[in-house]
Amino acid sequence: MKLALVTAFPPSRKGLNEYGYHVADELRRHPGLELTILADYLPDPQPELPEFSVVRCWGFNHLSNPISLLRAIRRLKLDIVWYNIGLASFGGKPLPAFFGLTVPALTRLSSCYTHVTLHQLFETVNLADAGVKSPILYRAAGHVATHLLLSANSLSVLLPAYHRTLRDKYGRGAVSVRHHGIFASCPEQPDLSVRGNPVQRVLAFGKWGTYKRLELLIEAFEQAAAKSAPVELIIAGGDHPKTPGYVQSVAERVRDNPLIRVVGYVPEESIPELFRTASLAVMPYTSSAGSSGVAHLACQYGLPILASDIEDFRELAEYEFVSMEFFTPNDVESLASRLVSLLHSPERLAEMARQNFSAALQMSMPQVIRQYIRSFDVQHRLRMLRTFSKLRNSSRWMPTRHLMARRVERKLQSWRAPGL
């Protein structure tokens, strides 16, 4: 099976690059699968990660993305093209973002099986948080773009609510609900003895500046710290592309507070230690943009979660049996109160940690990828069988009928699903 994964990919730091890396890392382990990553351009030349076949053929905010991607797909002669994308994967400006979202439909028109894993729906985006200047135009373009994405052979969403929205509003497309998955093949049991010993660490991790802001958390933490010593707030992660300099401005604001550390961007190899030693992950978002990668990282390391009471988080907790506590969005007193309550309840934190680690074991990356590959295998076999059936039923006088039928038959007989 020749498969291409279209995704932002490290060392790029664009959206979903971490998820793309972990999906690709699992895919490359499957025997019988020839994987190529069609990745985004890098701002500066850097060596590619070893053991991956990477073709950098598209860029953020490039209007030429449809042409360059289709050219690469035709050259590689692929069986399947898998798009790992969000609404803003191809651009932060309207035209490049929209043109990029047309590529899956164009890929299918080029007779290549096309799958889309869509991380957000435009219907769930808080337009004020996203900084959208023309809401009417955004909604119209989002509606058309979603129809185009549904023109792919199949599409996966990561929350049941998104499936319901697509079914009720659009009524078309082959849509499935799949788990986001954690970023590990076999997560390690969390060592609860290192937490709160000697300091309770509250962790805020993400790309900050739009709907993920830190002012509310800092104010609430300062209130909670007076009642919950010893405690420390760790702010990790970089700026959202739309808000350059935001994390640095936060660091300047809190530089005189010894209980708050801003560590900035965290390389992949440093993430385990960051999560293992934290007592609680806080997600102080004003709105949501899909199934949270941070929440799944917290589950992977058995970390309790305190999150804004947002519909997507409620859905995530119910769908994947994740233990979350909630506070009222944009309410400092509510967040401070929940922080104090949890930091003073080691039994509750331990219970949440065990439940989240248990949830993680049910959605490891090998399990998630195996489901995708099984689906691709079934669809590929069905496609070849349909082609063979049409040839068998075609007119006998067709000059190439017998040759084409034998070719499809050989391909079907030689087909082997990778790693199943």
**Looking at residue 324, what is its pLDDT?**
95
372 inside domain: no
418 inside domain: yes
Q: Do 123 and 205 fall into the same domain?
A: no
Q: 261: exposed, middle or buried (C-beta count within 10 Å: 0-12, 13-18, 19+)?
A: middle
Q: 43: exposed, middle or buried (C-beta count within 10 Å: 0-12, 13-18, 19+)?
A: exposed
**Looking at residue 111, what is its pLDDT?**
81
Q: Do 202 and 138 fall into the same domain?
A: no
Helical spans, DSSP H, in 264-343: 271-276, 293-300, 311-320, 332-343
Q: Do 99 and 132 fall into the same domain?
A: yes
**Looking at residue 112, what is its pLDDT?**
86
What spatial distance separates the first Cα and last Cα of the chain, rounded to whole Å?
A: 12
Mean pLDDT of the region 101-109: 95
Q: Do 109 and 168 fall into the same domain?
A: yes
Residue 212, classed as helix, strand or coil, is strand
**Looking at residue 92, what is its pLDDT?**
82
pLDDT higher for 122 or 23?
A: 23
Number of domains in the chain: 3
Mean pLDDT of the region 49-57: 94
pLDDT confidence of 49, banded at 50, 70, 90? very high
pTM of the prediction?
Answer: 0.85
Q: Do 213 and 157 fall into the same domain?
A: no
Please name the residue that has the structure tokens 């069905």. 382
Q: Do 135 and 242 fall into the same domain?
A: no
Please tell me whether the peptide bond between 198 and the residue prior to it is cis, using omega within 30 degrees of 0. Answer: yes
Q: Do 112 and 243 fall into the same domain?
A: no
The two tokens of residue 85 are: 């994308």
Q: Do 122 and 208 fall into the same domain?
A: no
What's the pLDDT tens digit per position in 265-280?
Answer: 888 888 999 999 999 9
Tell me the range of 66-80, 239-253, 395-409 where mean pLDDT is highest: 66-80
Answer whether residue 391 shows pLDDT above 70. no
Q: Cα–Cα distances in Å, from 13 out to 9, 10, 120, 207, 252?
A: 7, 6, 19, 10, 23
Q: Do 69 and 214 fall into the same domain?
A: no
**Looking at residue 66, what is its pLDDT?**
96
267 inside domain: yes
pLDDT higher for 263 or 412?
A: 263
**Looking at residue 395, what is its pLDDT?**
60
The parent domain of residue 310 ranges over 192-361
Q: Do 125 and 203 fall into the same domain?
A: no
Q: Do 418 and 312 fall into the same domain?
A: no
Mean pLDDT of the region 347-359: 95
pLDDT higher for 84 or 121?
A: 84
Tell me the range of 148-152, 211-215, 384-388 where mean pLDDT is highest: 148-152
pLDDT confidence of 164, banded at 50, 70, 90? very high
**Looking at residue 378, what is its pLDDT?**
81
Among candidate residues 152, 177, 202, the one where a domain is terminated: 177
In this structure, are residues 192 and 276 in contact, taking their beta carbons and an 8 Å threshold? no
Mean pLDDT of the region 49-66: 95
Q: Do 215 and 309 fall into the same domain?
A: yes
The two tokens of residue 233 are: 């707030």
CATH number of the CATH domain containing 94 = 3.40.50.2000
Give kind and range of the element (H or E) at residue 129: helix 127-130
187 inside domain: no
237 inside domain: yes
pLDDT higher for 405 or 95?
A: 95
Count CB neighbours of 410 within 10 A: 10
Burial 378-391 (b: 16+ CB within 10 A, else e): ebbeebbeebbeeb
